Amino acid sequence: MSHSVNAAQYLRMSTEHQQYSLDNQADAIARYAADHGFIIIKTYIDPAKSGLRLRNREALKQLLKDVAAGSPGFEAVLVYDVSRWGRFQDTDESAHYEYLCRASGVPVYYCAELFANDNSLATLILKALKRGMAGEYSRELSVKVRAGLARLASLGYKAGGIPPYGLRRLLLDSSGHGKQILRSGERKSLVSDRVILIPGPRAEVRTVRRIFHEFVYDRHSMPSIARGLNRDGICYKNGGLWSASDIMRTLRNDHYAGRQVWGKRHVFLGEKVQWMPPDQWIICENAFKPIITTELFAKAKTRFANLVYNLSEEELLEQLRSLLKAKGRLSAGIIDQATECACATTYKMRFGSLRRAYDKLGYAPSKFASGVAYRELVRSVRNKVVADVLHYSGNQLELLNPNGRFRPLMRDCRTGAVVSVLVARRKGLIEDEKTWSLRPKKKAVGTHTALVLLNAENNAIESMYLVPELGGRKRYVIRYRDVLRSGIKLNQPGDLVSAIIKLQSQKEISLT
C-alpha cells in the first residue's frame, strides 16, 4: 500500500490451544499490519468465547454494528485466521458476516492465512474449505469431549460443575489418593487428577436428611419445607434463603444417594437442550459416600411421581375411583381427608367442577345432583329476568358486569340506583303463610333487589317484587307479608323502571 490505512483488529480466544492466546493473535496481527501498511486504531476482543454462535460474542456484534452504521473510523478489519472469525456450523453464516463488512466498504483480512483475501476464485474456494474445516473441528471436538466426560462419569468421577448443597469436591491424584478439598472457584491443575464428591459439613448433611424426611414421612410440601428451614435460620448456599425450587433440586439429586448420573440432557454445539431418555444416561452406583439411603431416595422419587402436577386427568380420576370404591360415596370433605387422593380443589381446577369429575366417573349422588340442578335453574331464571328487564327498559338500565362472572347488577341511568336480581326458593308454610329461603350476597348491600319468588315446585316464577336492600345476611326466611309490606309488585319485567322511581321517591320521603 502507498499510504497507511486505519484498521481495527478482532481477537477471540476460546480454551482450545495456546497458539490462539490473545497475545499471540495480537502479535501476529501487528506484524501483518506493519508489513501491509495498516495502523491499528481499535481493538474488539471476545475472551473465552466459543465461535459457534454470534449471540454470545458481544465484541463481534459491536464490530458489525459499528461497520453497518457507517463511518466506523477504520477502513479494514484484521483477524488472525478464519477460525477466529468463527467456527459457525453453517459456513454461509460466516460468509454473511464478512460480506456485511465488505458491503460497507470495510474488508476483512486474515493475517495468518497463506492466501490473500482478494475475492478471487482461488480465495473463495480456500475460504469455503477453511470455514468447513473450522466447523468440522468443533463437531469432532464436541464428540471427543462428550466421550471423555461419559467415561469419567461411568467411573464415578465428577464431570465438572458446582457441588450440591451438603457435598464437597475432593481432588484425587492419579493413584486415587485424596489431595485436598477444592473450595469454590478452585479447579484441578493436572490432567491426571480426578474429582469425586464427599459429604460436607455435618450441619449441611443434617439439613439434607431433614429435607428428605419431611418430604417422605411427614408429607410436607416443598414450600412448607423451605419456610421451615428459613424460619429456623438454616441458610442455603452463600447464606441465601431456601426456596421451593431449591428443595425440589435437592430431592431429585442422585448424588445424595451416592449415585453418579450423567447425560440427562445434551447440548450439541450450542443448539437447544435435548433431554435424553433414561436408557441413555451414564449411571455409576456407589460412586460416592451417600448422605441418605437408596430406599429413602426411591420413596422421594415415588412421591414426586404422585404429585398432582405430574398426574394426568385419567390418573386423578383413578385415585377418585379407588376412593369411591373404599368409601362408597364421595364428597368434598371425604376427598380432602383422603391422603391417597388429590384435594377437592384440584379436581375443581382440573375438571372445572366436582360435578364434571363425578360425571366422568359415572357417579351422581342424589343430593349433589339436586343441588346442582337447582343452581342451574336459579342461574337460568336470573339470566332470563335480566335479559327481559333490559329489553323493556328502553336503554334506561345498564348492565354493570356483563362478563357473567358475578351476579348481575343493573343501574338506572337516571337515578343512579343499583338493582340486583335475587331468586328465592320456596320453603313451605308458616302459620298458613308462604315463605321463601333467601341467600343475599354481601356485595348487594346498598342496592335495591328485584326479588324473584319461585312456585311451590321451585321450577317456575310465581311473582316478582322490587324491594329495598336485602344484603348483609347469609341466609334467612322471608314471609309473603314481608314482601307485600316493603316491596312493589312487578306484573311484567318492564315495570321495573317505574318501580325504581317509586321506590326512590319513598326512600327520599322517609329520609325527610
Residue 202 in this model has a pLDDT that exceeds 90? yes
**In terms of domains, do 244 and 291 share one?**
yes
Residue 15 lies in a domain: yes
pLDDT 10s digits, 405-442: 556 788 888 888 888 888 888 887 777 788 888 777 65
Contact 442, 471 (CB under 8 A): yes
pLDDT 10s digits, 305-362: 777 666 788 888 888 888 888 888 888 778 877 767 777 777 887 887 888 888 888 8
Residue 59 lies in a domain: yes
**In terms of domains, do 441 and 350 share one?**
no
Residue 509 in this model has a pLDDT that exceeds 50? no
Q: What is the CATH number of the domain that holds 423?
A: 3.40.1350
Q: What is the mean pLDDT of residues 217-225?
A: 86
Write down the pLDDT at residue 176.
Answer: 79
Question: Quick one: pLDDT band at residue 270, thresholds 50, 70, 90?
Answer: low
Domain count, the chain: 4
**In terms of domains, do 237 and 249 share one?**
yes
- The answer for residues whose C-beta is within 8 angstroms of residue 466's C-beta and 6 or more apart is 419, 448, 449, 450, 451, 487, 488, 490, 496, 499, 500, 503
Write down the pLDDT at residue 267.
Answer: 66
Pairing of β 38-47 and β 418-430: unpaired
CB atoms under 10 Å from CB of 466, counted, come to 21
pLDDT 10s digits, 18-35: 556 888 889 999 999 999
pLDDT above 90: percentage of residues in the chain: 16
pTM value surpassing 0.85: no
Choose among 235, 217, 237: nearest CA to 226.
235
**In terms of domains, do 323 and 209 share one?**
no
Q: Average pLDDT of the chain?
A: 81
**In terms of domains, do 360 and 394 share one?**
no
Mean pLDDT lowest among 35-39, 198-202, 421-425: 421-425
Contact 258, 251 (CB under 8 A): no
**In terms of domains, do 329 and 312 share one?**
yes
Of residues 383 and 124, more confidence is placed in 383
Question: Quick one: pLDDT band at residue 250, thresholds 50, 70, 90?
Answer: very high
Q: What is the CATH number of the domain that holds 18?
A: 3.40.50.1390
pLDDT 10s digits, 444-488: 555 788 888 888 877 888 889 888 776 555 677 878 787 777 788
User: Cα separation of 332 and 409, whole Å?
Assistant: 31
Question: Quick one: pLDDT band at residue 511, thresholds 50, 70, 90?
Answer: very low
- Coil vs helix vs strand at 281: coil
* Boundary of a domain, candidates 255, 289, 305: 305
User: Cα separation of 286 and 255, whole Å?
Assistant: 10
Residue 186 lies in a domain: yes
Contact 381, 461 (CB under 8 A): yes
Write down the pLDDT at residue 205.
Answer: 94
**In terms of domains, do 171 and 301 share one?**
yes
**In terms of domains, do 125 and 10 share one?**
yes
Q: What is the CATH number of the domain that holds 285?
A: 3.90.1750.20
**In terms of domains, do 296 and 322 share one?**
no
**In terms of domains, do 388 and 492 share one?**
yes
Question: Quick one: pLDDT band at residue 271, thresholds 50, 70, 90?
Answer: low
Residue 159 lies in a domain: no
Residue 286 lies in a domain: yes
Write down the pLDDT at residue 446.
Answer: 57
Residue that has been written with the C-alpha cell 490432567 in this structure: 191
Mean pLDDT lowest among 189-198, 200-209, 226-235, 244-253: 189-198
Residue that has been written with the C-alpha cell 319513598 in this structure: 506
Q: Cell numbers at residue 402, please?
A: 356483563
Burial of 328 (C-beta count, 10 Å sphere; 0-12/13-18/19+):
exposed
**In terms of domains, do 500 and 402 share one?**
yes
Domain range holding 328?
308-364
Write down the pLDDT at residue 76.
Answer: 92
Question: Quick one: pLDDT band at residue 251, thresholds 50, 70, 90?
Answer: very high
**In terms of domains, do 187 and 135 share one?**
no
